[in-house]
Amino acid sequence: NIIKIIHLCGTALEESAKTFNQFNEEALRDYIKGMLSSHYENTVTGETFRRVGKTDIQIQREDKAAFIAECKVWHGIKLFSDAIEQLFCYATWKDTKLSLIIFNKENKNFAGVQQQIQSWLKENCKSCKQWNSNIWDCVKYREDTGRDVRLAVALYDISIKELPNSKKN
């Protein structure tokens, strides 16, 4: 259900790309966090201390983190890989549901970004299936804990494409 809500938020971001493209990572995170809070009252926090840093979104259930997520603006596959490692550093051995939410703001070749992410996930995860055109649901092994983790990766395109024959003011 959490991923479904995130997907609805991400779709709204894409549909209003002209507005949201100007937002930085923190503002985009706050938009998603606000929508999650409307479903999970008093349990959603942002910039929450976890293990060795602060995760962007956390949902608390029964005195434990039921869900943690990191939000990033797309800046290439190396930083994508680093973001997953960062997310794993925030997760304790008990955390088994993690998510990385990526916002494409500048790359005009969105299909290329999708292909890069899909290739990385297929190479680095035990299993991975594409939930829809924006979300992958994967199982990734954590060497430090010896456990499998469910990793959802969501990608949203809020880049601005100029219309043909448009004049800049």
Interval 67-102: pLDDT, tens: 899 999 999 999 999 999 999 988 888 888 899 999
- 127-130 and 147-157 strand pairing: unpaired
pLDDT digits (tens, 9 = 90+) for 30-42: 999 999 999 888 8
Query: What's the rounded mean pLDDT across residues 106-114?
Result: 92
Distances from the Cα of 78 to the Cαs of 29, 73, 85, 159, in angstroms? 21, 13, 11, 20
pLDDT score recorded for residue 146? 86
Distances from the Cα of 26 to the Cαs of 115, 121, 153, in angstroms? 26, 25, 18
Helix (H, G, I), strand (E, B) or coil at 145: coil
Indicate if the pLDDT at residue 135 is higher than 90.
Answer: yes
Question: What topology does CATH give the domain 2-156?
Answer: Trna Endonuclease; Chain: A, domain 1 (3.40.1350)
* DSSP bridge partners of 67: 59
- Rounded CA-CA distance 53/63 in Å is 19
Lowest mean pLDDT among 18-22, 121-125, 142-146, 151-155: 142-146
Instruction: Count the helix, strand and coil residues of the chain and give each as a percent rounded to the nearest 5.
Output: 35, 35, 30
Q: Where are the domains of the chain?
A: 2-156
pLDDT score recorded for residue 108? 87
Residue 21 or 43, more confident: 21
Indicate if the pLDDT at residue 66 is higher than 80.
Answer: no
Indicate if the pLDDT at residue 164 is higher than 70.
Answer: no
Global confidence as pTM: 0.89
- Rounded CA-CA distance 18/11 in Å is 13
pLDDT score recorded for residue 59? 87
